[in-house]
């Protein structure tokens, strides 16, 4: 079984305006010849314009969330079909900021994954423990529980990735040690193999949490790390490209 093709995805969170499209184009201009698939996940209102701006480049665009239903009376929400209609090819689901701020449960994330599959979007499903959970020695069971609870069996045979993002490392400048990352990623790999069989070897397991040019090489070359989900450092083309080329 060969290794998964790495994926490096930028999560722009609630950042970016029409004036940021040039930054996305600068990223696209610099990725050629890289070893990873590259994606940018801008705010939903920028998706269509970004997918047009990046048409014909190697960079894919993705959403940051999708509702579990396809349409209906859900004020303020965006469906997977709408993301696909706007040009998205991937979607981040179950990000810890959404699990925390919107009380998203594993079951809800699983429902969103099914919605993504209905519309041909490649899910990036996020998992990760809080600092309190890590300090209590619960990091492994918490994350493995999220993997089991958030990934429905229907994912078998589809392209998707899992992003391990320790909550305490997101946007804080703190990163997990390589040993911690490798321990968690190999536990996630074992769980995926148990759930999906031998084909789980091809599922990229991304690391996320304060990935930056200075630490990208070490993280991206750690065992079982199949790419990165990058927040802050994906907003500047120079930083994001440095991460992409660290692979
Ligand atoms: P960060 O965010 O790189 O700014 O820590 C990562 C994420 O939340 O996906």
- Atom 2, ligand 1: which residue's CA is nearest? 231
Query: Could you give the domains of the chain?
Result: 7-162+184-199 (3.20.20.70)
Q: Report pLDDT for 65.
A: 98
Ligand 1 neighbours by CB, cut-off 6 Å: 11, 165, 170-171, 208-211, 229-233
* 21-30 and 44-53 helices, crossing angle to 10°: 50
Q: Report pLDDT for 39.
A: 98
Give me ligand 1 centre to Cα 73, in Å. Answer: 31
Token pair belonging to 99 = 């699990």
Name the phi and psi angles at 41, rounded to 5: -115, 95
Query: Which of 215, 158, 132, 146 lies closest to 181 in space, CA to CA?
Result: 215
Q: Are 186 and 206 in contact (CB under 8 A)?
A: no
Q: What is the mean pLDDT of residues 136-160?
A: 97
Token pair belonging to 76 = 């303020």
Q: Write the Ramachandran bin of 220: left for phi over 0, alpha for psi from -120 to 50, otherwise beta.
A: alpha
Mean per-residue pLDDT of the chain: 96
The pLDDT confidence band at residue 2, using thresholds 50, 70 and 90, is low
Give me ligand 1 centre to Cα 33, in Å. Answer: 25
Find the farthest-apart pair of alpha carbons in the chain and give their distance in angstroms, rounded: 48
- pLDDT single digits (tens) 179-210: 999 999 999 999 999 999 999 999 999 999 99
- pLDDT single digits (tens) 117-128: 999 999 999 999
**Ligand 1 atom at shortest distance from the alpha carbon of 96:** 8
Q: Which residues of 192-227 are buried (b: 16+ CB within 10 A; e: fewer)?
A: beebbeeebeebbbbbbbbbbbebbeebbebebbbb
**Ligand 1 atom at shortest distance from the alpha carbon of 209:** 5
Q: Report pLDDT for 25.
A: 98
More confident residue, 110 or 34: 110
Catalytic sites, residue numbers: 95, 165
């Amino acid at each position: 079984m060969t290794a998964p093709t790495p994926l490096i995805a930028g999560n722009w969170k609630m950042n970016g305006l029409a004036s940021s499209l040039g930054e996305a184009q600068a990223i696209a201009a610099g990725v050629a010849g890289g070893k990873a698939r590259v994606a940018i996940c801008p705010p939903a209102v920028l998706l269509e314009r970004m997918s047009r701006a990046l048409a014909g480049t190697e960079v894919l665009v993705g959403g940051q969330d999708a509702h579990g239903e396809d349409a209906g009376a859900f004020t303020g929400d965006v469906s997977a079909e709408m993301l696909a209609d706007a040009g998205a090819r991937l979607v981040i689901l179950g990000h810890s900021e959404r699990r925390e701020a919107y009380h998203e449960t594993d079951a809800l994330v699983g429902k969103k994954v099914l919605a993504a599959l209905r519309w041909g979007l490649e899910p990036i499903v996020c998992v990760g423990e809080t600092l309190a959970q890590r300090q209590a020695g619960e990091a492994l069971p918490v994350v493995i529980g999220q993997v089991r609870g958030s990934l429905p069996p229907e994912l078998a045979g589809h392209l998707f990735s899992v992003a391990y993002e320790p909550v305490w490392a997101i946007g804080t400048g703190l990163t997990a040690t390589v040993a911690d990352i490798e321990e968690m990623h190999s536990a996630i790999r074992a769980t995926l193999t148990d759930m999906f069989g031998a084909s789980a070897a091809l599922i990229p397991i991304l690391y996320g949490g304060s990935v930056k040019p200075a630490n990208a090489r070490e993280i991206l070359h750690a065992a079982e790390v199949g790419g990165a989900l990058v927040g802050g450092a994906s907003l500047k083309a120079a930083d994001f490209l440095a991460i992409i080329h660290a692979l």
